[in-house]
Amino acid sequence: MKASAWTKGLPIIMILLCVACVVPGVVSAADVPIPNIQVSFGETDEPQQVAKSLQILLVLTVLTLAPSILIMTTSFTRIVIIFAFLRHAMHTQQMPSNQIMVGMALFLTFYIMSPVWQKVNDNALQPYLNEEISLQQAFQNFSDPLRTFMLKQTREKDLTLLVSLTKGERPETPDDVPMTTIIPAFILSEVTTAFTAGFIIFIPFLIIDMVVACVLLSMGMMMLPPVMISLPFKLLLFVLVDGWGLIIGSVIKSFN
């Protein structure tokens, strides 16, 4: 009986020893001073300090909007929509997964946009970091290559629609169109182009689904889902024709 009582009380003793070892460490850690960060607004007689503060605020704002800028002003939108249509046409559920599709679209965007970003780096970022140009000139040099790329990919019909809906003076040339009009027109054109490519991608897989459904119906297998039978044939067709190479090559060529 004494041995059993000692055995039952052993876990309680171990817990008390652990607490006794941990508490001094916690108390000593609580004595360590933790630095705090304060943000204050004060008066200054130097306009340069105000300008630097505004520049920092502008940079933080741009970094906050960087994902939206990357998605809406580059080739990312068209690529990811086409990949989504491909996955739905093949009925592969979540294969490839969303992470893989977004990663592929992101690196293809880097590949397609590398000439544009190289011009931005040479004409805007590096001269500004070397204090050769002002912030306004750097922003202008940054927007010019991006404007050229978006105007090249924007359909004239979409640009005309957005310009007609804009109140104010009508621009005489495409160079006079503001970025606030070019970006929505570019997004509209990208979505339209991606949906057109998705329709073309759907056609061969839809034909396979129809043929398999007709064969199963003629054999009286109405309870068997046609998608279950057509999926291996879709995968076989996609592999035999080098589907990924055709789609990625067509997407890259569409931006050239």
User: Per-residue pLDDT tens for 200-226?
Assistant: 888 888 888 888 778 777 777 777 676
Quote the crossing angle between the two packed helices 179-218 and 76-90, to the nearest 10°: 10
Contact assessment for residue 54 and residue 171, using Cβ atoms and an 8 Å cutoff: no
The kind and range of the H/E element at 150 are helix 135-153
Amino acid symbol at 170:
R
Q: Is residue 3 part of a domain?
A: no
Place of tokens 């970091």: 129
Q: Is residue 27 part of a domain?
A: no
Residue 28 has pLDDT above 60, yes or no: no
Q: Residues with Cβ < 8 Å from 223, sequence gap 6 or more?
A: none
pLDDT at 34: 56
Vertex 165 angle, CA 162 and 170, to 5°: 85
Q: Is residue 173 part of a domain?
A: yes
Segment 112-124 mean pLDDT? 84
Quote the domain boundaries for residue 237: 66-254
Residue 178 has pLDDT above 70, yes or no: yes
Helix (DSSP H) and strand (DSSP E) numbers for the chain: 11, 0
**pLDDT band at residue 43, thresholds of 50, 70 and 90?**
low
Q: Is residue 226 part of a domain?
A: yes
**pLDDT band at residue 5, thresholds of 50, 70 and 90?**
very low
CB-based burial label for 133 (10 Å; 0-12, 13-18, 19+): middle
Smallest CA-to-CA distance from 87 within 253, 244, 242, 251 is with 244
Half-sphere exposure of 111 (CA within 13 A, CB side): 14
Report the b/e string of 197-234 with b at 16+ CB within 10 A: bbeebbeebeebbeebbeebeeeeeeeeebeebbbeeb
- Concatenating the DSSP letter of every residue in 67-105 gives HHHHHHSSTHHHHHHHHHHHHHHHT-TTSS-HHHHHHHH
Q: Is residue 14 part of a domain?
A: no
Segment 87-112 mean pLDDT? 84
The model's pTM is: 0.68
Contact assessment for residue 72 and residue 189, using Cβ atoms and an 8 Å cutoff: no
Q: Is residue 90 part of a domain?
A: yes
Q: Is residue 114 part of a domain?
A: yes
Vertex 239 angle, CA 233 and 243, to 5°: 110
**pLDDT band at residue 22, thresholds of 50, 70 and 90?**
very low
Q: Is residue 186 part of a domain?
A: yes
Residue 21 has pLDDT above 80, yes or no: no
Place of tokens 């780096």: 121
E strand residue ranges, 7-80: none
Residues 209 and 236: their CA atoms lie apart, in Å, by: 14
| Count of the separate structural domains present in the chain | 1
**pLDDT band at residue 6, thresholds of 50, 70 and 90?**
very low
Report the b/e string of 42-61 with b at 16+ CB within 10 A: eeeeeeeeeeeeeeeeeeee
Mean pLDDT comparison of 19-23, 61-65, 136-140, 246-250, highest-scoring range: 246-250
